[in-house]
Amino acid sequence: MSEPTENKRTSGDFLEVLERFGYRWQARLEHSGLPRMSDLPQGTTVLAFHFKEGIIVAGDRRATAGNAIMYERCDKVIPIDDYSLMAIAGVPATAFEMARVLSHNFEFFRRSQLQSMSAEGKVRSLSRLLKENVGNALQGLGAVSPIFATFDLRLKKPLIYFYDMLGAEFQIQTHTATGSGSPMIRGILEHEDLWGPRPLAERSRDEAAQLAIRLLQTAAQFDSATGQARPKDKIYPIIALITQNGYQFVPDDEMSGLFERSMSRDR
Protein backbone atom coordinates (compact mmCIF):
# COMPACT_ATOMS: atom_id res chain seq x y z
CA MET A 1 0.00 0.00 0.00
CA SER A 2 1.42 3.37 -1.00
CA GLU A 3 2.26 5.97 1.62
CA PRO A 4 -0.49 8.57 2.11
CA THR A 5 0.05 11.82 0.23
CA GLU A 6 -0.25 13.79 3.47
CA ASN A 7 2.76 11.98 4.95
CA LYS A 8 4.85 12.76 1.90
CA ARG A 9 4.09 16.44 2.30
CA THR A 10 5.49 16.52 5.83
CA SER A 11 8.87 14.88 5.25
CA GLY A 12 10.62 18.13 6.12
CA ASP A 13 12.77 18.06 2.96
CA PHE A 14 12.10 21.22 0.96
CA LEU A 15 14.20 20.04 -1.99
CA GLU A 16 11.97 16.98 -2.37
CA VAL A 17 8.95 19.27 -2.42
CA LEU A 18 10.55 21.36 -5.19
CA GLU A 19 11.28 18.27 -7.27
CA ARG A 20 7.73 16.98 -6.79
CA PHE A 21 6.42 20.17 -8.38
CA GLY A 22 8.89 20.02 -11.27
CA TYR A 23 11.66 22.31 -10.03
CA ARG A 24 15.25 21.11 -10.13
CA TRP A 25 17.80 23.07 -8.13
CA GLN A 26 20.30 22.93 -10.99
CA ALA A 27 19.60 21.30 -14.34
CA ARG A 28 22.66 20.09 -16.22
CA LEU A 29 23.56 22.60 -18.91
CA GLU A 30 24.90 22.01 -22.39
CA HIS A 31 28.14 23.79 -23.05
CA SER A 32 27.30 25.25 -26.46
CA GLY A 33 26.00 28.80 -26.51
CA LEU A 34 26.79 29.52 -22.86
CA PRO A 35 28.78 32.55 -21.73
CA ARG A 36 32.38 32.07 -20.70
CA MET A 37 33.24 32.10 -17.01
CA SER A 38 35.14 35.36 -17.51
CA ASP A 39 31.87 36.97 -18.69
CA LEU A 40 30.06 36.14 -15.44
CA PRO A 41 30.30 38.34 -12.35
CA GLN A 42 32.49 36.83 -9.63
CA GLY A 43 32.55 37.64 -5.95
CA THR A 44 35.65 37.53 -3.74
CA THR A 45 37.06 37.53 -0.97
CA VAL A 46 35.49 36.12 2.25
CA LEU A 47 36.81 34.84 5.59
CA ALA A 48 35.62 33.50 8.93
CA PHE A 49 37.26 32.78 12.26
CA HIS A 50 36.37 32.02 15.85
CA PHE A 51 36.65 34.86 18.35
CA LYS A 52 35.85 35.11 22.05
CA GLU A 53 32.06 35.39 21.73
CA GLY A 54 31.49 33.27 18.63
CA ILE A 55 32.30 33.60 14.93
CA ILE A 56 33.12 36.60 12.77
CA VAL A 57 32.34 36.38 9.04
CA ALA A 58 33.53 39.07 6.63
CA GLY A 59 33.95 39.87 2.97
CA ASP A 60 34.91 42.65 0.62
CA ARG A 61 32.22 44.22 -1.60
CA ARG A 62 33.63 43.92 -5.15
CA ALA A 63 32.21 41.76 -7.94
CA THR A 64 34.26 41.35 -11.12
CA ALA A 65 33.87 39.79 -14.57
CA GLY A 66 37.27 39.05 -16.04
CA ASN A 67 39.25 42.29 -15.75
CA ALA A 68 36.12 44.43 -15.38
CA ILE A 69 34.79 45.68 -12.06
CA MET A 70 31.04 45.07 -12.21
CA TYR A 71 29.83 46.16 -8.80
CA GLU A 72 31.32 47.63 -5.60
CA ARG A 73 28.48 46.95 -3.17
CA CYS A 74 28.03 43.19 -3.38
CA ASP A 75 26.82 41.60 -0.13
CA LYS A 76 28.82 38.38 0.15
CA VAL A 77 27.66 37.40 3.64
CA ILE A 78 24.07 36.15 3.46
CA PRO A 79 21.72 35.27 6.36
CA ILE A 80 20.18 31.79 6.04
CA ASP A 81 18.29 31.64 9.34
CA ASP A 82 18.54 33.34 12.73
CA TYR A 83 21.71 31.41 13.62
CA SER A 84 23.35 30.76 10.23
CA LEU A 85 25.29 32.74 7.64
CA MET A 86 26.78 31.80 4.27
CA ALA A 87 29.78 33.71 2.90
CA ILE A 88 30.28 33.37 -0.84
CA ALA A 89 33.12 33.48 -3.33
CA GLY A 90 32.28 32.67 -6.92
CA VAL A 91 29.26 33.49 -9.08
CA PRO A 92 26.82 35.57 -6.98
CA ALA A 93 23.74 34.55 -9.00
CA THR A 94 24.30 30.86 -8.17
CA ALA A 95 25.26 31.60 -4.57
CA PHE A 96 22.23 33.82 -3.96
CA GLU A 97 19.92 31.12 -5.31
CA MET A 98 21.61 28.55 -3.08
CA ALA A 99 21.06 30.87 -0.12
CA ARG A 100 17.37 31.29 -0.96
CA VAL A 101 16.84 27.55 -1.33
CA LEU A 102 18.66 26.88 1.95
CA SER A 103 16.66 29.53 3.79
CA HIS A 104 13.36 28.08 2.56
CA ASN A 105 14.61 24.56 3.35
CA PHE A 106 15.43 25.43 6.97
CA GLU A 107 12.13 27.29 7.46
CA PHE A 108 10.07 24.52 5.81
CA PHE A 109 11.69 21.95 8.10
CA ARG A 110 11.02 24.11 11.17
CA ARG A 111 7.35 24.54 10.32
CA SER A 112 6.66 21.00 9.14
CA GLN A 113 8.62 19.21 11.88
CA LEU A 114 7.88 21.74 14.66
CA GLN A 115 11.58 22.01 15.49
CA SER A 116 14.68 23.61 14.02
CA MET A 117 16.90 21.60 11.72
CA SER A 118 20.04 20.28 13.42
CA ALA A 119 23.41 21.83 12.65
CA GLU A 120 24.42 18.58 10.91
CA GLY A 121 21.33 18.78 8.71
CA LYS A 122 22.08 22.39 7.79
CA VAL A 123 25.67 21.58 6.88
CA ARG A 124 24.66 18.66 4.67
CA SER A 125 21.90 20.66 2.97
CA LEU A 126 24.48 23.04 1.53
CA SER A 127 26.70 20.08 0.60
CA ARG A 128 23.80 18.59 -1.37
CA LEU A 129 23.26 21.82 -3.35
CA LEU A 130 26.95 22.02 -4.21
CA LYS A 131 27.01 18.39 -5.38
CA GLU A 132 24.05 19.04 -7.66
CA ASN A 133 25.85 22.11 -9.02
CA VAL A 134 28.98 20.16 -10.05
CA GLY A 135 27.87 19.89 -13.69
CA ASN A 136 27.65 23.65 -14.06
CA ALA A 137 30.84 24.27 -12.12
CA LEU A 138 32.85 21.84 -14.27
CA GLN A 139 31.61 23.58 -17.41
CA GLY A 140 32.89 26.90 -16.09
CA LEU A 141 29.50 28.20 -15.00
CA GLY A 142 28.11 28.83 -11.57
CA ALA A 143 31.08 27.71 -9.46
CA VAL A 144 30.68 28.68 -5.81
CA SER A 145 33.13 28.30 -2.94
CA PRO A 146 31.17 29.01 0.26
CA ILE A 147 31.86 29.26 3.96
CA PHE A 148 28.98 28.23 6.23
CA ALA A 149 28.84 29.46 9.83
CA THR A 150 26.19 28.54 12.37
CA PHE A 151 25.55 28.33 16.08
CA ASP A 152 24.62 24.81 17.20
CA LEU A 153 21.79 25.30 19.69
CA ARG A 154 22.06 21.69 20.90
CA LEU A 155 25.80 21.75 21.59
CA LYS A 156 25.80 25.45 22.53
CA LYS A 157 28.80 26.16 20.31
CA PRO A 158 29.57 28.04 17.07
CA LEU A 159 30.65 26.05 14.01
CA ILE A 160 32.46 26.97 10.79
CA TYR A 161 32.48 24.79 7.67
CA PHE A 162 34.41 25.18 4.43
CA TYR A 163 33.28 23.39 1.24
CA ASP A 164 35.03 22.35 -1.93
CA MET A 165 33.41 22.49 -5.36
CA LEU A 166 32.18 18.88 -5.08
CA GLY A 167 30.29 19.55 -1.86
CA ALA A 168 32.67 17.96 0.65
CA GLU A 169 32.46 19.83 3.96
CA PHE A 170 35.31 20.43 6.39
CA GLN A 171 34.79 21.71 9.92
CA ILE A 172 37.16 24.56 10.74
CA GLN A 173 38.46 24.82 14.29
CA THR A 174 40.16 28.21 14.00
CA HIS A 175 39.94 30.16 10.74
CA THR A 176 39.36 29.90 7.00
CA ALA A 177 39.13 32.05 3.87
CA THR A 178 38.18 31.53 0.24
CA GLY A 179 38.28 33.48 -2.98
CA SER A 180 41.12 34.97 -5.00
CA GLY A 181 42.47 37.00 -2.08
CA SER A 182 42.39 34.09 0.36
CA PRO A 183 46.05 32.93 0.11
CA MET A 184 47.26 36.17 1.71
CA ILE A 185 44.50 36.08 4.31
CA ARG A 186 45.16 32.49 5.36
CA GLY A 187 48.82 33.18 6.01
CA ILE A 188 48.14 36.25 8.12
CA LEU A 189 45.39 34.49 10.08
CA GLU A 190 47.72 31.60 10.91
CA HIS A 191 50.43 34.01 12.01
CA GLU A 192 47.99 36.02 14.15
CA ASP A 193 46.61 32.88 15.77
CA LEU A 194 50.03 31.43 16.61
CA TRP A 195 52.13 34.51 17.31
CA GLY A 196 49.77 37.47 17.61
CA PRO A 197 49.03 39.26 20.89
CA ARG A 198 46.58 36.45 21.73
CA PRO A 199 44.96 33.51 19.88
CA LEU A 200 42.05 34.45 17.62
CA ALA A 201 39.56 32.60 19.82
CA GLU A 202 40.49 34.87 22.76
CA ARG A 203 40.02 38.19 20.98
CA SER A 204 37.20 40.61 21.67
CA ARG A 205 34.52 41.66 19.21
CA ASP A 206 36.29 44.92 18.29
CA GLU A 207 39.68 43.22 17.98
CA ALA A 208 38.20 40.57 15.69
CA ALA A 209 36.36 43.13 13.53
CA GLN A 210 39.44 45.32 13.16
CA LEU A 211 41.56 42.32 12.19
CA ALA A 212 38.99 41.33 9.55
CA ILE A 213 39.13 44.83 8.07
CA ARG A 214 42.95 44.81 7.95
CA LEU A 215 42.96 41.35 6.36
CA LEU A 216 40.64 42.40 3.54
CA GLN A 217 42.58 45.63 2.98
CA THR A 218 45.79 43.60 2.76
CA ALA A 219 44.24 41.16 0.28
CA ALA A 220 43.12 44.09 -1.87
CA GLN A 221 46.74 45.28 -2.11
CA PHE A 222 47.73 42.07 -3.91
CA ASP A 223 44.51 40.93 -5.59
CA SER A 224 42.70 43.18 -8.06
CA ALA A 225 39.44 41.23 -7.63
CA THR A 226 39.28 42.16 -3.94
CA GLY A 227 37.86 45.63 -3.38
CA GLN A 228 39.36 48.10 -0.95
CA ALA A 229 37.22 50.05 1.47
CA ARG A 230 36.30 53.53 0.22
CA PRO A 231 35.31 55.65 3.23
CA LYS A 232 34.48 58.70 1.07
CA ASP A 233 31.86 56.62 -0.75
CA LYS A 234 30.80 54.84 2.47
CA ILE A 235 31.89 51.48 1.07
CA TYR A 236 33.22 49.21 3.80
CA PRO A 237 33.68 45.45 4.12
CA ILE A 238 30.62 43.53 5.22
CA ILE A 239 31.13 42.05 8.69
CA ALA A 240 28.74 39.84 10.65
CA LEU A 241 28.94 38.04 13.97
CA ILE A 242 27.34 34.80 15.13
CA THR A 243 26.92 34.25 18.87
CA GLN A 244 24.49 32.36 21.11
CA ASN A 245 22.03 35.21 20.42
CA GLY A 246 22.08 34.65 16.66
CA TYR A 247 23.67 36.64 13.85
CA GLN A 248 24.24 40.39 13.79
CA PHE A 249 25.70 42.60 11.06
CA VAL A 250 27.99 45.49 11.96
CA PRO A 251 26.12 48.61 10.73
CA ASP A 252 27.78 51.10 8.38
CA ASP A 253 27.81 53.90 10.95
CA GLU A 254 29.84 51.68 13.31
CA MET A 255 32.03 50.45 10.44
CA SER A 256 33.31 53.99 9.90
CA GLY A 257 34.86 54.13 13.39
CA LEU A 258 36.09 50.53 13.22
CA PHE A 259 37.79 51.19 9.90
CA GLU A 260 39.50 54.33 11.19
CA ARG A 261 40.80 52.52 14.27
CA SER A 262 41.93 49.47 12.31
CA MET A 263 43.95 51.58 9.89
CA SER A 264 45.66 53.57 12.66
CA ARG A 265 49.26 52.70 13.53
CA ASP A 266 48.52 53.67 17.15
CA ARG A 267 45.86 51.00 17.70
DSSP assignment of the chain: -PPPHHHHTTSS-HHHHHHHTT--SSPPPPSTTPPPGGGS-EE--EEEEEETTEEEEEE---EEETTEEEES----EEEEETTEEEE--B-HHHHHHHHHHHHHHHHHHHHHHSSPPPHHHHHHHHHHHHHHTHHHHHTTSS-B--EEEEEETTTTEEEEEEE-TT--EEEESSEEEESTTHHHHHHHHHHHHHHSSS-GGG--HHHHHHHHHHHHHHHHHH-TTSPPPBGGGTB--EEEEEETTEEEEPPHHHHHHHHHHHH-TT-
Which residues form the catalytic set?
Answer: 44
